[in-house]
Amino acid sequence: MLLVPTIVCVLVLGLASPVEIEAGSPLKVLGLFPHPGVSHFHFFYPIMRGLAEAGHDVSVVSHFPDKNPVAHYKDFPLSGIEKLTNTVDLKMFEKRTFYNHFVEFFLLHDWGKEACNFTLRSDALQQILKRKQGYFDVIIMEQFNTDCMMGVAHQLQAPVIALSSCVMMPWHYERMGAPIIPSYIPALFMAQSQDMDFGGRLANWFSFHALNWMYKLISTPVADAMVQYKFGHDVPSVGELAKNTSLFFVNQHFSLSGPKPLPPNVIELGGIHIQKAKGLPADLQRLLDNAEHGVILISWGSMIRANSLTTAKRDGIVRAAARLKQLVIWKWENDTLPNKPDNMHIMKWLPQRDILCHPNVKVFMTHAGLMGSSEAAYCGVPVVATPMYGDQFLNAAALVQRGMGTLLNFEDISENTVMRALKKTLDKSFADAARTVSYSFKHRPQQALQSALWWVEHVANTGGAPLLKPSAVEMSRFVYYSLDCYVVVGLLLTIIIGSWISLIQRICGSSSSKKTKKD
């Protein structure tokens, strides 16, 4: 008797969700995050936690174990390597004569090598490798400065979803079959927006291709050596394994970094780390509510210690603040600040997102890290950007191009430059542009976290989303850009034009030689 309704139920449920192969069964998800930068993890964590909250079984190998994990979220902590938090000394940027992106490439390369070596030898990974092949339904990993973890994914035989906490690196495009168009897509390391002049485009073209090749020729072999030392010499090159990446989640959004041609296996999740407002502590709320002339927030993120500023620069900022009528809130790690004016409030730690979204906040002085830039875009706050390294120059250029930011070079910081930049950015046009960006940043067909969860389940349920993989991934770039066709058509045109020219020359030549005979 009971059987009939059960069968009906099963049939109805089966029909209701035809897409999902195993509707409802929790997935086993592995996260591999060997890079010790906490700002990167701020992008990964909401996805991993969101998966656990949705009922999936989540195992996370990272440097940042969750202090109060939700159910189904299990940490496999990497410990012992220096975490890149609050460790950047601003004095590093005082002499920036040759601190360009090629130097940065080698810095990233070294970090990648170290993180790879460390993770492959870690106890955390040994525990994960005890699982048999096919145990995990999907592996989510950071793809940044090394493809070392693709070797681990190969051992575990599970589909891979890549995460990038900044825009894609020059070496990430080919593996997803995405076009590199250096005429308007600025490379990560360039301080440019989509509007480039000829010099800018030439430099961008060169950087894109040079860095892509440097990665292939320098970073990939180093990762291969470590992976093959660990797992044996029959493991394919991680460069080949990287082409097996099913999906790429990238921390960008067109409203800020500009629209780009991305295949459907690259998903923009910019702003995923931004949570619902938590509510400010009462004293801070009162401070912000009562700031009748508005508030300027200065915060240079988690990696930079503000108290390592030189005295001249620190005094410049302090004196500029004293000349303003706005309230200035500064994330400052010391208890005291020499010559602190009355309209300045210092805090060692502050709830940046909630402060930024307060309607009285007029300008945000930032290092243009992607997290802070996204929060400014979300809350619609104009910025004075002082980029220092990595992708900050690119983010700053995007904020300026969108009309919601002013650039203030770190080496130029002084009372007058700070004053000028703040005055300019307090103009209404900046607030209007910021509001426009904010609207598009917030209003999406699906919120970033929902998109991420949907796609993770899709990749797991389709065994790696093979239909999403463009044939372009296996093509050489020579063929991909139709250069073979250009060569053949060029040759044909040369032959046709060449034979016409020689024909004309022969006719003219013979007629002129007749003439000379007559004479």
Ligand X SMILES: *[C@@H]1O[C@H](CO)[C@@H](O)[C@H](O)[C@H]1NC(C)=O
Q: Which residues bind ligand X (CB under 6 A)?
A: 113, 117, 154, 157, 159, 226, 236, 241, 244, 246, 307, 334, 463-464
Cβ nearer to ligand X, comparing 463 with 490: 463
Residues 198 and 206 sit within 8 Å (Cβ to Cβ): no
Residue with smaller CB distance to ligand X, 361 or 460: 460
CB of 324 to ligand X, least distance (A): 21
**Using CA atoms, how far apart are residues 229 and 250, in angstroms rounded to an integer?**
31
Among the residues of 17-89, which ranges form H helices? 38-53
Strands, E assignment, 295-444? 295-299, 304-305, 327-331, 344-347, 361-366, 383-385, 405-407
Q: Where are the alpha helices (DSSP H) in 350-414?
A: 352-356, 370-379, 392-401
Q: What share of the chain is helix, strand, coil (3-state, %, to 5)?
A: 50, 15, 40
CA atoms of 138 and 95, how far apart (whole Å): 45
Which of 316, 330, 321, 341 is closest to 412 using CA atoms? 316
387 versus 464: smaller Cβ distance to ligand X: 464
CB of 427 to ligand X, least distance (A): 32
CA distance linking residue 367 with residue 410, whole number of Å: 9
- DSSP E strands, 240-285: 245-250, 266-268
Please say which residue, 91 or 514, places its beta carbon nearer to ligand X: 91
To the nearest whole angstrom, how small is the minimum distance from the Cβ of residue 312 to ligand X? 12
DSSP assigned state of 152: H
The separation between CA 123 and the C-alpha centre of its own chain, rounded to angstroms, equals 29
Identify which of residues 153 and 398 has a Cβ nearer to ligand X in the complex.
153
* Residue labelled with tokens 């372009």: 472
- Comparison of 187 and 473: residue with beta carbon closer to ligand X: 473
Q: Residue number with the shortest CB distance to ligand X?
A: 464
Distance in Å, CB of 158 to ligand X, minimum: 7
* CA end-to-end distance (rounded Å), the chain: 118
Q: With respect to ligand X, which residue has the nearer C-beta, 241 or 400?
A: 241
In DSSP terms, which residues pair with 248 in a beta bridge? 162, 266
- Closer residue to ligand X (CB): 25 or 339: 339
Between residues 242 and 394, which has the closer beta carbon with respect to ligand X? Answer: 242
- Smallest gap from residue 362 Cβ to ligand X (A): 26
Rounded least distance, CB 295 to ligand X, Å: 23
The least CB distance from residue 77 to ligand X, in Å, is 18
| 61 within 8 A of 169, measured Cβ to Cβ | no
CA distance 169 to 431: 31
Strands (E), 2-72: 28-32, 57-62
Residue 7 backbone dihedrals phi, psi, to 5 degrees: -65, -40
Nearer to ligand X, 133 or 440 (CB): 133
Least CB distance from residue 147 to ligand X, whole Å? Answer: 12
Q: Is residue 264 a contact partner of residue 468, using CB atoms and an 8 Å limit?
A: yes
Shortest Å, Cβ 116 to ligand X:
8
128 membership: H or E segment, kind and range = helix 123-129
Nearest approach in angstroms of CB 20 to ligand X is: 17
